[in-house]
Amino acid sequence: MAKQAKRKYSRPALKKVVVVNSEASIDAMSQYVNQTMSAIYSLDVILFYIGSAQVAEEANARVDKLFEQKLQLFDKEISKLQKVVEDNDIEEIEYSQQRTKDYKVYSPLCATYIKLFKKFELNTNLIDRLWLNGELSSAQRNGKVLKLGRHMRNVSRQVINMSKMAMKVAQSEGKAEEVNASLKEIDPENNGKIADPQEALPVEVEGEEKEVA
């Protein structure tokens, strides 16, 4: 009797369209945002397959806490920048370039990360707007964008490292083949590939969370 093919899992998904204009956001989209989304996909799939519910819950909680910390930080900076815009009747600006990317969202963590990236874009838009209208010097503009970018890159590195750690657990439990097959279904752009679990990415120590100066 022929072996029946395993039916593919029916995953709910949202389609999110992300449009960015600032140079910092365009760079982020091309350099690490897509990779971070893939890492979140990987983490979700791996945690579904590994046997420890406690490990899965702790990993999800860590990522969620990380995202929430950065959302609060970015919201605080947006409020500060918007107040300067409103108080000084700052003119709108336009950009010479734009990038658009469609993302499939398979988990709340994916949606939260996209929300964080959109706030990064809003922050950099406001910074550029204030700079062009003479409210920020070039040095102030560059410093603010660099600090915001550092936060975004560290989020990316921490999520990627967590997905690598989870993959080690999956490999130790003999679940790597199932994980990779599922990843090919939901992340076709990367053909289900996950970064080498043996190579952790360095994360800059930020210390206590502070406002972006």
pLDDT tens per residue, range 90-138:
999 999 999 999 998 888 999 999 999 999 999 999 999 999 999 999 9
**pTM recorded for the entire structure:** 0.83
Residue 160 lies in a domain: yes
Residue 169 lies in a domain: yes
Q: What are phi and psi of 117, to 5 degrees?
A: -65, -40
Q: How confident is the model at residue 209 (pLDDT cuts 50, 70, 90)?
A: very low
More confident residue, 25 or 163: 25
Residue 86 lies in a domain: yes
More confident residue, 205 or 74: 74
Residue 135 lies in a domain: yes
- Through-space distance between the first and last CA atoms of the chain, rounded to whole angstroms: 69
- 166 contacts 46 by C-beta, under 8 angstroms: yes
Domain count for the chain: 1
How much of the chain exceeds pLDDT 70, in percent? 81
Residue 32 lies in a domain: yes
Residue 212 lies in a domain: no
- 51 contacts 100 by C-beta, under 8 angstroms: no
The token pair that represents 135 in the structure block: 């409210």
Residue 207 lies in a domain: no
Query: What is the domain extent for residue 102?
Result: 22-190
